Amino acid sequence: GDHRGWNARGDAGSHRRVPPLVTGVFYNRTRRSSSIPHSLLRRGRVLDLPVYYLLRFSDLAREGLEHSGSHRFADHIYRSVPSGRGAIGRWLDARLLRLPAVRSFRFRYLAARDELAAFLIERLQHDPHRTLDVLSVPCGMPRELADASALVRRRIDDLPSRVRFHGLDLDPTVLEEAQHFAGQHGLRPFETHQGDALDFSAYPQRFDFITCTGLAEFLDDD
């Protein structure tokens, strides 16, 4: 799960009423389709096929079509650097990144980054000896943590090791990517934790600041 798809415990059901199953298996709640072209053909939307194949030149669109809600999809929007297959892919990617909905999606990352940077600067200046623990959950690619720490370094020249960063996610593969990302972007120390964002016992300790950029849209009203 990401930021970008959030995972939760699930159980199987059918049209018959059956007793609830208790399971430790997690499932991804993002949408899946075995074949989008076949789905379009079944629905008689033949004219949408050229649009579908054109969109696949864009890295953002292709990731969204293949892995809706993935952490890579979200991070592509947060990074906001056009990429794709050839010049047409990059051109199309740039147009998609400028869509109002995409800019709105990116705002949550910007808000988390800026609030965290302001928090760290204020705490480091007024309580210079206190250890601070910052968590991103579900972390996906913890870009808001890395970019906030870069803003702090530009403001106060250094970020002491007593500021400790953490990432919590359900998917161990995502946590490995997050650890690699943290190392590449100078996010140290960075500790990963595997667990369900809605399970209080998954949180190993108290945190001073928590960012959450990819969870609420996967929750129902209850």
- 3-state SS of 123-177? HHHHCCCCCEEEEECCCCCCHHHHHHHHHHHHHHCCCCCCEEEEEEECCHHHHHH
Higher pLDDT, 67 or 113: 113
pTM for the whole structure? 0.75
Query: Parallel, antiparallel, or unpaired: how do β-strands 7-9 and 26-28 relate?
Result: antiparallel
Residue 132: both structure tokens together: 């601070």
Q: pLDDT band at 47, cuts 50/70/90?
A: low
Residue 90, pLDDT > 90, answer yes
Q: Give CA separation, 211 vs 39, 104, 110, 156, 181, in Å.
A: 37, 17, 11, 22, 17
Taking only the tens place, the pLDDT of each residue in 145-163 is: 999 999 999 988 788 889 9
What's the pLDDT score for residue 6?
A: 38
Higher pLDDT, 194 or 128: 194
What's the pLDDT score for residue 210?
A: 95
> How does the average pLDDT of the chain come out, rounded?
82
